């Protein structure tokens, strides 16, 4: 288990997620640092991915 992901996202994906209210930060090597609470539910993760998929 983990609560951090370092994802390679396009500028368009970053924009879509930020516009939807997601807060995350640029990281080394062009990746984005995504961190969630240990209390984050699978449904919340699915909602985040749904925004990403459009």
pLDDT digits (tens, 9 = 90+) for 2-15: 999 999 999 999 99
| Domain housing 17 | 4-53
Number of domains in the chain: 1
Span 4-29, average pLDDT: 96
Question: What's the chain's average pLDDT?
Answer: 96
Q: Please spell the DSSP secondary structure of 1-54, one letter per residue.
A: --SEEEE---HHHHHHHHHTT---EE-GGG-EEEE--TT--HHHHHHHHHHHH-
47 pLDDT more than 90: yes
CA distance linking residue 36 with residue 24, whole number of Å: 10
pLDDT digits (tens, 9 = 90+) for 29-38: 999 999 999 9
pTM recorded for the entire structure: 0.85
What is the torsion angle, in degrees rounded to the nearest 10, for the CA atoms of residue 26, residue 16, residue 19 and residue 44?
-90
pLDDT at position 1 is 82
């Amino acid at each position: 288990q983990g609560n951090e992901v370092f994802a390679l996202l396009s500028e368009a994906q970053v924009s879509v997620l930020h516009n939807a209210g997601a807060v995350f930060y640029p990281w080394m090597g062009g990746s984005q640092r995504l961190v969630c609470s240990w209390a984050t539910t699978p449904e919340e993760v699915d909602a985040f991915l749904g925004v990403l998929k459009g």
